Amino acid sequence: MSVFEKQVYVPAELLQALGEHTGHYWASPMLEPIICDAVRAWMKPAPPVQQQPTAPSEAGCQWKQVFLPEGTRLRACFGGQPYFAVVEGAQIKHGEQAISPSCFANLRGSGNRNAWKAIWLRLPGSDAWLLADVCRSARKTAIARMFGGDAAASKPRVRTPPRPRQGPHGSKPPASPRTRASDMPSDGRAFAAQQRAPQPSGAVPGQVRPPSAPGNDPQHKQGSGRAARRKRRAAKYARGGP
């Protein structure tokens, strides 16, 4: 390490104070490394100690659904002249007087003003003034969304039935062709008619009864109805009966 011989003038009181602080005589050569270390530390100072971030304050005033943190500014206006209040601790203070939001809104005027419609709020760290009623509506919406999401998650999902398939152009698929009675042979039509006809009790389903002969059917022998009775009566008179 190269050394330059250069005389540096140091005030006598500073040199004496340095000797007293280090315990060496002011003319002792032991002060030279101490002076060099001090010059190096001055040229390259140590980085500042990082401070731990302070936790946000939990103090504030609860105004119905809206929480006003400490430091929130309140502003109202009457006759074109604004007046202000601030949240300190858990109170709203106008000067040295602790008041409620309704009292603050009606400090001036007739005393019938709605505090939600008359007070504007500026939260800590924000430069925007918001109407208190807007803050209340936003808070209500957030609460409804929070509880609505929980209800939707707990509600079971209902499965919807599958939708019918559609054709290539969006139309319904053609129904399966049905066999018309006119397309069936004569034997098939008779069989279908017998199947649709009501069967007497005791009949075996699917069993086809053979048609009775005209001479064996009692209805063919006697006939029924008013016309048949008239014919029988006329035949009886024709034979000379009573």
pLDDT tens digits in sequence order for the chain, 242 residues long: 677 777 777 788 888 888 888 887 777 778 888 888 888 888 876 677 776 666 666 889 999 989 999 999 999 998 889 999 999 999 999 989 999 999 999 998 777 899 999 999 999 988 999 999 999 999 899 888 888 865 555 566 666 777 766 655 555 555 555 555 455 555 555 555 555 555 555 555 555 555 554 545 544 455 567 788 888 888 777 766 55
Rounded to 10°, the helix 31-43/12-22 angle is 100
Edge-to-edge strands, sheet with 81-88: 97-99, 91-94, 81-88, 73-78, 120-122, 130-131
| C-alpha–C-alpha distance, residues 206 and 20, integer Å | 129
User: What is the token pair recorded at 201?
Assistant: 């009790």
| pTM given for the model | 0.42
Closest to 90 measured CA to CA, from 71, 116, 106, 107: 71
User: What is the token pair recorded at 182?
Assistant: 């006119």
Closest to 22 measured CA to CA, from 37, 8, 9: 37
| C-alpha–C-alpha distance, residues 14 and 226, integer Å | 152
Contacts of 110 (CB under 8 A, 6+ apart): none
E strand or H helix at 220: helix 218-222
Residue 87 pairs with which residues in a beta bridge? 92
* Segment 203-209 long-range contacts (CB within 8 Å, at least 24 positions apart): none
Residue 86 pairs with which residues in a beta bridge? 73, 93
In contact, 75 and 120? CB cutoff 8 Å: yes
Looking at residue 242, its pLDDT comes to 54
Looking at residue 180, its pLDDT comes to 54
User: What is the token pair recorded at 203?
Assistant: 């009949």
